[in-house]
């Protein structure tokens, strides 16, 4: 994995874990609830992706830096909830960086196991948004990705781009990953700024 992607992954884990932990605080959960929500938000997408690809035990449970980061970020979210809530705008961008990085890592991993189009697109997207879905199910809510804005769609388009760049243009993993990351991030940030929404049923 190239360095930019690695750094983005780290930014994403911090942002995802803090968001999960703050949602736990808002739901009046206790410290364990905040840890579970922080862990799920940042690591569950990758764990589900590993299971779908037949990689067990999942690397998020054996390679320690990411879980350690998720743990400390969740504790920070629990303790400093009020202070952190004041920087919600920066957090939104950090989350977008994580979305892009996770879509790129997930697509890349799936492609290396089996270069099938649907598998790459689904695993890329699930790596990026699966943690948020698990978090929302644990919080007993309809997953945010199914109701709000242009979020999972950015990861879906990014993961599709990864597959096309590898297969149609014959690009290598570093280039395709970087483009996936940049494209997902750009789409998501544009969606935030321009208020993009998907069509929705009328009355």
- Residue 19 or 37: the one with the smaller Cβ distance to a copy of itself is 37
Does 7 bind a copy of itself (CB under 8 A)? Our answer is: no
* Window 123 to 152, contacts with a copy of itself (CB under 8 A): 123, 133, 137-143, 145-147, 152
Min separation Cβ 76 and a copy of itself, Å: 13
Q: Contact with a copy of itself (CB under 8 A): which of 1, 61, 167, 182?
A: 61
Min separation Cβ 136 and a copy of itself, Å: 9
Rounded CA-CA distance 151/155 in Å is 7
Does 47 bind a copy of itself (CB under 8 A)? Our answer is: yes
Rounded CA-CA distance 19/23 in Å is 6
Interface residue list for a copy of itself (CB under 8 A): 24-25, 27-33, 36-37, 47, 51-54, 56-58, 61-62, 64, 67, 78, 81, 113-114, 116-119, 122-123, 133, 137-143, 145-147, 152-153, 156, 197-201
């Amino acid at each position: 994995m190239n360095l930019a992607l690695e750094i983005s992954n780290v930014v994403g884990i911090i942002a995802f874990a803090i968001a999960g932990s703050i949602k736990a605080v808002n739901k009046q959960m206790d410290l364990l609830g905040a840890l579970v929500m922080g862990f799920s938000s940042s690591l569950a997408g990758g764990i589900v992706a590993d299971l779908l690809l037949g990689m067990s035990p999942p690397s998020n449970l054996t390679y320690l830096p990411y879980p350690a980061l998720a743990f400390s970020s969740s504790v920070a979210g629990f303790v400093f909830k009020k202070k952190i809530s004041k920087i919600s705008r920066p957090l939104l961008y950090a989350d977008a960086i994580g979305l892009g990085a996770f879509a790129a890592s997930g697509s890349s991993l799936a492609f290396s196991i089996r270069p099938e189009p649907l598998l790459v697109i689904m695993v890329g997207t699930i790596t990026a948004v699966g943690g948020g879905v698990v978090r929302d199910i644990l919080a007993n809510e309809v997953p945010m990705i199914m109701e709000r804005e242009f979020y999972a769609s950015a990861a879906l388009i990014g993961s599709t781009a990864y597959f096309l760049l590898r297969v149609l243009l014959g690009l290598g993993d570093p280039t395709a990953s970087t483009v996936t990351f940049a494209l997902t991030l750009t789409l998501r940030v544009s969606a935030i700024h321009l208020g993009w929404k998907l069509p929705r049923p009328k009355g």
